[in-house]
Structure 1
Amino acid sequence: MQSLDELVADLVDRYTGEKDHPGDGGPGLLHRLDTLGLRTRQPPDGGHAPPGSRPPTSLEAVSWSQRIKTEAIGLDMQLRKSARTQAWYRALKAIPPGAEAADRVGEVTSIVGRWHGTVLTVLGLRGPSVHFRMCLCLSCEQRTVYGRADDDRPRAWCINDACQDGDTGAPARYEGTRLYLLTRSRASDREPVTE
């Protein structure tokens, strides 16, 4: 897991990634979203591609970029307890020291990590997460578990804000043997699925 400083550096400066999942050292991820060319790749058989199967268009990427920048400016203002705004890149770079001063490093790392993951997914550098709709979270017993089945690091997490896993007080995360326990905890074993 990357630190808050490393996540911000990936978004703004250079995409270096982490030890197990290194980046390419190229421009920051938000710059890549802003300059992503229009993708118009057609299906190989000349037919129609199913909805959602094509890569994002540049307009969608720019929309995500603007949303993250706007949220970063707001978070920076909140951490500084100020009504004055800064440019988005300054606001992003000010978030780590602001989070430390406000004693909110864990919460802010989660927020910035979500932005980081969103950008990686939109750029196609990482696959999308999947809803494990038949599994109940082992902590809150809700159908709010999402996961990613990467070959080298399968993992899942609960998105229920009210979920509190053990001593951490944060929503549950599942890796290794704990992930195996989650997959055995199917919602259909406990209650009927109603849609």
Structure 2
Amino acid sequence: MQTLDELVADLVDRYTGDEQHPGDGGPGLLDRLDQLPLRTRPAPDGGHAPPGSRPPTSLEAVSWSQRIKTEAIGLDMRLRSSAHTQSWYRALKAIPAGAENADRVSEAMRTVGRWHGTVQTVLGLRGPSVHFRHALCLACGERTVYGRADEDRPRAWCINDACDDGDSGAPARYEGRRLYLLTENRAS
């Protein structure tokens, strides 16, 4: 598992990944979202596409990129307890130090980890998560469990913000034997 500094570096500097999922050392993940190849609709006569039919990049990718950048600015402001904003790049780079100073590293780690995973999914570097619509969360009893069946690490998690999984104070996560118990806990 990557540290908060490594997740931020993957997003803004170079995508290096970790031991289980190595990156390619290329541009940061957010830069990749912003630089997706142009999309064109073929012209009906086989010629060039008409003007205005070529959006600059994938609209979904641009939307996710802007959302993450906006959220990074907001998180940085909350961690610093300041109304002063910084550019998204500076804000994102400041999150690890700000989280440590505010003693909110676990919250920042969850948020930045979610951004990291979202970007990887949008770019096709990993598969999307799946809603386990028939499984009830063991902690909150709601049908709010999602999962991913990666070869090396199948896992699931509850997305209910009100879910509290005991000591962590965070929504439930399922791996190993606990994941098996979750799959046996089906709603009828």
TM-score exceeds 0.5 = yes
Per-residue CA distance 1:92-140 (angstroms, 9 max, x = gap)? 0000000111111001110111111110010000111010010001111
Name whichever of 164-173 and 122-131 sits farther off. Answer: 164-173
Equivalent position of 1:97 in the other structure: 97
Tell me the TM-score normalized by structure 2.
Answer: 0.88
How do 1:16-165 and structure 2 match up within 5 A?
Answer: 16-39=16-39, 58-165=58-165
**d(CA) in 2 for partners of 1:181 and 1:122?**
30
**d(CA) in 2 for partners of 1:29 and 1:129?**
19
- Return 5+ residue gaps in structure 1 as ranges: 43-56, 189-195
Equivalent position of 1:169 in the other structure: 169
Output the amino acid matched with 1:180.
Y
Per-residue CA distance 1:124-169 (angstroms, 9 max, x = gap)? 0011101001000111111010000112211000011111112111
**d(CA) in 1 for partners of 2:114 and 2:74?**
16
Tell me the TM-score normalized by structure 1.
Answer: 0.85
**CA positional deviation for 1:40:** 6.3
SS at match of 1:187: coil
Number of matched pairs: 174
Equivalent position of 2:45 in the other structure: none
Equivalent position of 1:11 in the other structure: 11
SS at match of 1:110: helix
Output the amino acid matched with 2:187.
A
Runs of 4+ in 1 over 4 A off after TM superposition: 39-42
**d(CA) in 2 for partners of 1:119 and 1:33?**
7
Identity of aligned residues (%): 82
Name whichever of 93-102 and 78-87 sits farther off. Answer: 78-87
**d(CA) in 1 for partners of 2:94 and 2:157?**
28
Output the amino acid matched with 1:78.
R
